[in-house]
Structure 1
Amino acid sequence: MNEHPSSCVIRPTGCPGLLRVVQALDGGICRIKLDGGSIQSVQADTVASAAERFAGGVIEATNRANLQIRGIGAAQDALIEQLLAAGLGPHTPAGDDVRNLMLSPSAGIDRQMLFDTRPLAAQILLTLQIHERFNELSAKFAVQLDGGEAMAMLEHHHDLWLSALVHRGEPWLAFGLAGSPLDKPAGKVPLAQGHALVVMVLESFLDLARPDQTRMRHLLAEIPEDEFIVRLARRVALQPCLDWQRGASVDGLHIGIHPQHDDRVYVGAQAPLGRLDTAMLRGAAQLALEKGDGSLRFTPWQSLLLPNVGAHDAKQVLARLGELGLVCSPDEPLANLIACTGSSGCGKALADTKADARQLAERLQRHGQALKIHLTGCPRSCAAAHVAPATLLAVGPGRYDLYFRDATLPGFGALQAHNLTIEALGHWFDAHPRSPLDA
């Protein structure tokens, strides 16, 4: 796909894409969607070069395992052309928005996986981009394909999810709507019918949804799920899935050294607060060439993996990632903090969340604490696609309301304290040592 962005017809949306740079306080934002979160080392080097030449050198790892370049100046067309030349664009111009398919970062290499989801993922991604009718889907409409891996983000809600199971010795897919594999499935199909199921679900959604119903949950608020499934069953052979439950994922597998299904390992490290500079990305890409298979995989935890590393090289690789400034231990406070762009780059944010998160991390480090906390500059919660154990919602510069997740309450959960500074927050945690936030 080499068409210049000026000739592309892109439907209106506020979301950035590769072909559509969206303006923020700190300049333009370009979002690079990665197939299954994976990028080749030479492509990663191109992203770093584009960020240096045409932007401020800031690269973000997103919670959907994509990359963003921030601070883009007037030469945005040149930046886009460079990324397209590296093969980072969609198959069709309108396909950029809709290639939203989340896999486990360890797809194909995970020791717990039931089967390799990547062949089916490639089919689905191609169809999402070349099926003209799917251009009508919202840029936020998303599909999850889960192979039963130990490392899987199971808390993000998707419009359609599919999850691996084995039925009578054969590979099948459980599936559900407007949720995650942790939910009760709506049915199951043989793996060979997985692609057809995705096509039928998306076509049925477009048949039934009004223009203002951009997500599956909007449609299901008006049409019962059972009715949607009955309609779907007329087009694809479904079977009930009554006794299946997705096995638990394992926390912390996105950081450190972990064995693969073969005799190799993957090595993971986290971008501090989701931010990479060009030296970090280039250095990781070079390491992948030297010690891995020449690819990087980004994760929904805003980290990166080097897959297919020899076990004898693993400690050296992890140490070099640490030297680049990446977070290499789940026990580090920064490994457990999430922060949105904040007021330095977003006009809606009420506080500089990145700076406040670093201040909080330093305080937690001194006290030997590692707490799972999400800092958000406004109620939109752009940095976390799921509700974190604790959320700090900015109410003004350097001041936050503290919430704890509560499944019985909407939004961020139960309000614990109001209008805290970062220093006061530290004192609050000291006074409440048995909080549910310990990592």
Structure 2
Amino acid sequence: MTPDAAPTPTEQAARPAADAPRRVPRPARAGGNGQWLVDGTTPLNHNEEFKAADGGLNVRERIEQVYSKGGFSSIDPDDLNGRFRWWGLYTQRRPGIDGGRTAQLSAQELSDEFFMLRVRIDGGALTTEQLRVVAEVSTLYGRDSADITDRQNVQLHWVRVEDVPEIWRRLEAVGLQTTEACGDTPRVVLGSPVAGIARDEVLDPTPVIEEIVERFIGDPELANLPRKFKTAVTGHPSQDVVHEINDISLLGVVHPELGPGYDVWVGGGLSTSAHLAQRLGAFVAPEDAAEVWYGVVRIFRDYGYRRLRNKARLKYLVADWGAERFRRVLEEEYLGRALPDGPPPPAPSGRGDHVGVHEQKDGRLYVGLAPTVGRVSGTLLRALADAAEAAGSRRVRLTPHQKVVVLDVDPQRVQDLLARAEELGLTATPSPFRRNTIACTGLEYCKLAIVETKATSARAVDELERRLAGVEIDTPITLHVNGCPNSCARIQTADIGLKGQLVQDEHGEQVPGFQVHLGGGLASADRAEPGLGRTVRGLKVTADGLPDYVERVVRRYLDTREPRETFAAWAHRSDEEALR
């Protein structure tokens, strides 16, 4: 896992011999942002203090040797609320605490003695054997819970610390891990769900993803970043990895002289302050892609802002520096060479969720299936593995849109697969709302949430399918539902984005509801340029009134749009009354 590139001064200082004493940080510069190479490495808040005292990766031994034997009450608070995340573990929300108390209670008061466990699935790639093991862990240790996330992971719930070592043993026996699935680390690498099999891909990103994971995930030198670091790599012309909202994205392009490679984007992210990524204008050959990724993540580590947690994402550094300076620092300080200029990617070729039946380059089929807002179960995942194998497949992929794709399907057995999937609640021919609605974890399990999301969204999908069954919706209208302001469900980049909060109903009572964002979206075949949604002053809906509002605004759009006008374009040009 030792990189070939020369270490920076920070790395040289941070790489003592095994028996050397811990280095003493130099004093921080007064008034600085906590940038290691500018202000020094003295911790400036408690998160930085506990990371400096003991790295997050080191907690695994204590989980295995101490906490799994002593139980929940034996866990040190800094491990429980901090370092456990380096191994994919968060305490889940204690049942019965309503959303109005989220901001009033401490993390300890909000936390149950059970954990969410995030299984890291880089590129969304699973064998059916791995899928079966995830299902087994869910049913044995997670009360049959499972969610497919929009980061291509699977999240399980109700996990006890006593069971974590055995869960790790089962996952790692089939090549899965939870290493750095959370925490201030390089999180899961998003990848094209159809990598290596799509007829129209520019290049296969699988070798780049595998190199990044093998060389750098679990490397202590990259395990203390200012905040999380999100990566996306695709070679598919649909640009199917939401590249505009990742810290770094590598998009497949064809250079007129150098051939296929990657276009580099940096500094995307949403949460409470949304930033779309910026192109560096640099072309990266496939064999250099992991090195460039390594340079970008080290820039974040060395120059990222650490003083304030809410300013500690790479997007703020990129916004302050600009793409030109960022590229110059990358080339001069981290790569030691200039990168060639490269072409921008063309407009996306089509829908990037891969739902439906499609032909692979080898003549077999891949089948994209839609659950409802990512909610599945261990029982369902095991049955899906059985159905995939019965159709000749040994591989599935999860998508950044909370969907699942079965690869390598025998054309003679595809109808059997589709029928079995429908029985499981998965469909290759979803309604527009089942296909285009995603939801975060919500109040059911998340300590940050204010409102419930999964069941609310599922009910809305069912109701909208019924109400709009005879209405032709000939353009995608995305509906993203989030339980708090942090935008795990990407509300600013949805046609209709809903941010959870308490609102007043018609009787003046506080009830669960949402602030509405309208007209956001990422680049797609229907939209040339990405953009963030707008808010309308005072426009909020109750959770119970969600289907009424969506039906109303969709019908109004269909009735008053211009020819070929997208929902986003209509929402941005319409007056506020039309959007209420």
Secondary structure of the structure 2 residue equivalent to 1:272: coil
Residue 135 of structure 2 is aligned with which of 48, 55, 58?
A: 48
Structure 1 counterpart of 2:330: 232
Structure 2 counterpart of 1:393: 499
Task: Give the residue type in structure 2 aligned to 1:404.
Answer: L
Structure 1 counterpart of 2:147: 60
With over 3 angstroms needed to count, the CA separation of the structure-2 counterparts of 1:132 and 1:362, relative to structure 1, is: closer
For the 8 Å contact 1:402–1:415, the answer to whether it is kept is yes
Deviation at 1:272, TM superposition (A): 1.5
Are 1:384 and 2:490 an aligned pair?
yes
Structure number with larger C-alpha Rg: 2
Are 1:284 and 2:405 an aligned pair?
no
Structure 2 counterpart of 1:6: 61
Structure 2 counterpart of 1:190: 285
Cα distance in 2 between the residues matched to 1:15 and 1:63: 22
Are 1:25 and 2:25 an aligned pair?
no
Are 1:365 and 2:420 an aligned pair?
no
Over aligned residue pairs, what C-alpha RMSD do you find? Answer: 3.5
With over 3 angstroms needed to count, the CA separation of the structure-2 counterparts of 1:428 and 1:170, relative to structure 1, is: closer
For the 8 Å contact 1:406–1:414, the answer to whether it is kept is no
With over 3 angstroms needed to count, the CA separation of the structure-2 counterparts of 1:431 and 1:14, relative to structure 1, is: farther
For the 8 Å contact 2:120–2:179, the answer to whether it is kept is no
Q: String of CA shifts for 1:363-402, please: whole Å, max 9, x gaps.
A: 2111225752122222122233762110223333443333
Structure showing the higher helix proportion among its residues: 2
Are 1:177 and 2:177 an aligned pair?
no
Cα distance in 2 between the residues matched to 1:143 and 1:401: 29
Q: String of CA shifts for 1:93-143, please: whole Å, max 9, x gaps.
A: 999953531111111111221111111221111122254321223562022
With over 3 angstroms needed to count, the CA separation of the structure-2 counterparts of 1:386 and 1:288, relative to structure 1, is: farther
| Bigger shift: residues 63-72 or 311-320 | 311-320
Task: Give the residue type in structure 1 aligned to 2:317.
Answer: L
For the 8 Å contact 1:62–1:300, the answer to whether it is kept is yes
For the 8 Å contact 1:343–1:349, the answer to whether it is kept is yes
Cα distance in 2 between the residues matched to 1:99 and 1:423: 35
Deviation at 1:17, TM superposition (A): 5.7
For the 8 Å contact 2:147–2:375, the answer to whether it is kept is yes
| Bigger shift: residues 175-184 or 324-333 | 175-184
| Bigger shift: residues 348-357 or 102-111 | 348-357
Secondary structure of the structure 2 residue equivalent to 1:39: strand
With over 3 angstroms needed to count, the CA separation of the structure-2 counterparts of 1:171 and 1:328, relative to structure 1, is: closer
Deviation at 1:406, TM superposition (A): 5.1
Cα distance in 2 between the residues matched to 1:96 and 1:288: 36
Deviation at 1:147, TM superposition (A): 0.8
Structure 1 counterpart of 2:350: 250
Q: String of CA shifts for 1:214-246, please: whole Å, max 9, x gaps.
A: 4321222443432222222221331123x4233
| Bigger shift: residues 44-53 or 90-99 | 90-99
Secondary structure of the structure 2 residue equivalent to 1:254: coil
With normalisation by structure 2, the TM-score equals 0.67
Task: Give the residue type in structure 2 aligned to 1:117.
Answer: P
For the 8 Å contact 1:338–1:383, the answer to whether it is kept is yes
Aligned residues: 436
Unmatched runs of 5 consecutive residues or more in structure 1: none
The alignment-based identity, stated in percent, is: 24
For the 8 Å contact 2:391–2:416, the answer to whether it is kept is no
For the 8 Å contact 1:59–1:68, the answer to whether it is kept is yes
Cα distance in 2 between the residues matched to 1:382 and 1:368: 28
Secondary structure of the structure 1 residue equivalent to 2:217: helix
Structure 2 counterpart of 1:323: 423
Structure 2 counterpart of 1:415: 536
Task: Give the residue type in structure 2 aligned to 1:98.
Answer: P
Deviation at 1:300, TM superposition (A): 0.6
Cα distance in 1 between the residues matched to 2:551 and 2:357: 32
Structure 2 counterpart of 1:203: 298
Deviation at 1:427, TM superposition (A): 3.9
Secondary structure of the structure 2 residue equivalent to 1:364: helix
For the 8 Å contact 2:180–2:186, the answer to whether it is kept is no
With over 3 angstroms needed to count, the CA separation of the structure-2 counterparts of 1:15 and 1:225, relative to structure 1, is: farther
For the 8 Å contact 1:400–1:419, the answer to whether it is kept is yes
With over 3 angstroms needed to count, the CA separation of the structure-2 counterparts of 1:332 and 1:283, relative to structure 1, is: farther
Secondary structure of the structure 1 residue equivalent to 2:373: helix
Q: String of CA shifts for 1:331-388, please: whole Å, max 9, x gaps.
A: 2532222222232323443332222222212221112257521222221222337621
Deviation at 1:82, TM superposition (A): 2.8
With over 3 angstroms needed to count, the CA separation of the structure-2 counterparts of 1:428 and 1:273, relative to structure 1, is: closer
With normalisation by structure 1, the TM-score equals 0.87
For the 8 Å contact 1:8–1:94, the answer to whether it is kept is no
Unmatched runs of 5 consecutive residues or more in structure 2: 1-57, 65-77, 96-113, 270-275, 503-510, 522-528, 558-566, 571-580
Deviation at 1:156, TM superposition (A): 4.8
Cα distance in 1 between the residues matched to 2:395 and 2:440: 27
